Chains A and B, each alone.
Chain A
Amino acid sequence: MSESAFQIFVNALLANNFVLAMFLGLCPFLGVSGKLDTAFPMGVATTFVMLVASLCAYGLNLLLTAFHLEFLRLISYIVIIASSVQLVEMVLKKYSPGLFRALGIYLPLITTNCAVLGVALFQTARDYSFVQSVVFAVGGGGGFTLALVLMASVRERLTLSNVPDLAQGTALSLMLAGILSLSFMGFAGLGG
């Protein structure tokens, strides 16, 4: 493998940001980015699920390849992700009920976050080693959190400003995301 761990990290975090360059995980990005104090925990929870899913997917892929069961890959990945989301949900419910309520429906929806499945699928498609997979998952999760936090801060400011009410809501968020994405394009080539 020619890519160093650092390159993978920077690429996943900035140059190929999961949300703004690869369009993964847009549902929570548009849904939970209204307030900063829910956006950050959401990002961290998603990163954690990504890490767990990535570790499990790595082991599972070895197992599936050994038994020539590659066609079961997708199904087994999604089951793993669903169970790790369940785990995060139980932990949060016990230790931080307030946050649990604030995240609401978006918590179980981490299961259907394309970014999580995306990590598992991309690391398989690119034949990443164990270390590379872990770094990729952390970088991707960090990038997701970064995008979410940036978006939430802009949107918090925006509630105070005077926007034509035709553009209110999703259309405005999409335009904002476009501008953020434009600025993230400046990182292109950073990871070499």
Chain B
Amino acid sequence: MNTAQCKTWDEFTEGIWRQNPVFVMVLGMCPVLAVSVSAVNALSMGLATMFVLVCSCGLVSLLRRMIPKEVRIAVYIVIIATFVTAVDYAIQAISLALYDALGAFIQLIVVNCIILGRAEAHAAKNPPVPAMFNAAGMGIGFTIGLFALGAVREVLGAGTLFGITLFGAGFQPWVIMVLPPGGFFVLGAWLLFFAWLERRKLRRAAPLSEAGQHV
């Protein structure tokens, strides 16, 4: 791999782990918590967001020299809203049940801070290909985060995963997990877990060298 490829790859993986939008940056929380009551919902919401993210970052990046600086945010939002409208109609056509389950949160993808943040911070400064790779990485990271949350909540709250029953008849569902407070608790627990992982890594790296403390 040459340097350019290496950089693109690096920007792609950035969103998946180091800068994970859900667990590290804690952005776009509204759909994350609202939709993650089951693994299927979480996954489809993640994919829908990823589609909008990649398309709008590509378009923003193509138009980056034409957009006047003063009205850039408005332009980005209109671009994002266009793609969201497309996704909204597409999901409605593909699966009405899913459309009802996700409710207004498909349209609310417009105001997901991750997308606007990526458009402003990355796509507006880079050529289309790296911008789309970066967006795809972020989208995958977001989907993973949503799925991690949705799976935990579904397993604990309903005793199922993808609708398949996991436990015997004696299992008492932990209903609070699929209710709103459960979303806050599970996300908090995941963040605690990641903070603990980070701490452990730092403690191991510390005796060896200072260089291990990259953020």
Residues of A within 8 A of B (CB): 20-27, 30, 71, 74-75, 78-79, 82, 108-109, 111-114, 116-118, 121-122, 125, 166-167, 169-172, 174-175, 177-179, 181-182, 185
Contacts and interface: CB of A to CB of B under 8 A. Distances in A.
Given A108-B73, A112-B113, A185-B179, A74 B85 contact: yes
Given A30-B29, A167-B195, A179-B181, 13 more contacts: A24-B108, A30-B26, A78-B78, A113-B111, A117-B111, A121-B108, A166-B192, A166-B199, A170-B191, A171-B195, A175-B184, A175-B188, A185-B179
21 contacts: A24-B34, A26-B33, A27-B29, A27-B30, A27-B113, A30-B26, A30-B29, A74-B85, A75-B81, A78-B110, A109-B113, A111-B111, A112-B113, A121-B107, A166-B195, A170-B26, A171-B192, A174-B187, A174-B188, A181-B181, A182-B181
B30 A23 contact: yes
Contacts of A125: 104
A23 B35 CA distance: 9
Q: Give chain B's interface secondary structure class.
A: helix
A185 B179 CA distance: 9
A178 B176 CA distance: 10
Contacts of A177: 184
Contacts of A21: 180
Contacts of B27: 27
Contact of A175 (B73, B108, B179, B185): B185
Contacts of A30: 26, 29
A181 B111 contact: no
Interface string B1-35: 00000000000000000000000001111110110
A22 B84 CA distance: 20
A113 B188 CA distance: 21
A116 B85 CA distance: 18
A23 B29 contact: yes
Interface of B: 26-31, 33-34, 73-74, 77-78, 81-82, 84-85, 88-89, 104, 107-108, 110-113, 116, 176, 179-185, 187-188, 191-192, 195-196, 199
Given A122-B104, A181-B180, A167 B74 contact: no
Contacts of A27: 27-30, 113
A178 to B, nearest CB: 3
A74 B110 contact: yes
A103 B72 CA distance: 21
A112 B111 contact: yes
B184 A171 contact: no
Contact of B34 (A22, A78, A121): A22
A109 B73 CA distance: 11
Contact of B184 (A113, A114, A117, A181): A181
A175 to B, nearest CB: 4
Contacts of A117: 107-108, 110-111
Contact of B30 (A75, A82, A114): A114
B84 A118 contact: no
A178 B190 CA distance: 14
Contacts of B82: 75
A23 to B, nearest CB: 4
Nearest to B190: A171
Contacts of A179: 181
B13 to A, nearest CB: 23
A163 to B, nearest CB: 12
A171 B188 CA distance: 5
Contacts of A109: 113
Given A26-B30, A166-B199, A112 B85 contact: no
